[in-house]
Amino acid sequence: MPNRDQIELSRYRLEKAGEMIDDAFSDGDYEGAYKKIRKNEKQAKKILIDFDQAHQGEMKGENINVILERVRRKRKKDDMER
């Protein structure tokens, strides 16, 4: 049986995947949607692994979405400042 963290991560992935699938249906670019989904999944995995290594014990199922959004927002801000 999956633990709470696995359930939360799956829920987040489904939410993001659903958004991209909706986009694909609206413009017919299914291959592009798949590539975006895979890219986002890989990015989320890396973010969560890096965060867990830097902040051991702080990542919980309840805060995975918050962690991902904050890290992505910070990276976007840092990229814009360059």
DSSP assignments along 42-58, one per residue? HHHHHHHHHHHHHSTTT
Higher pLDDT, 63 or 3: 63
pLDDT at 16 over 80: no
Q: What total of structural domains would you count in the chain?
A: 1
Q: How many angstroms separate the CA atoms of 4 and 30, rounded?
A: 31
Of 17 and 39, the one with more pLDDT:
39
Q: What does the pLDDT look like over 26-75, one tens digit per residue?
A: 777 778 877 887 888 898 889 888 988 998 888 887 788 888 888 888 88
Full domain range(s) for residue 39:
4-81
SS3 content of the chain, % helix, strand, coil (to 5): 85, 0, 15
Write the single-letter amino acid at 70. Answer: R
SS3 13: helix
Q: Is the pLDDT of residue 1 over 70?
A: no
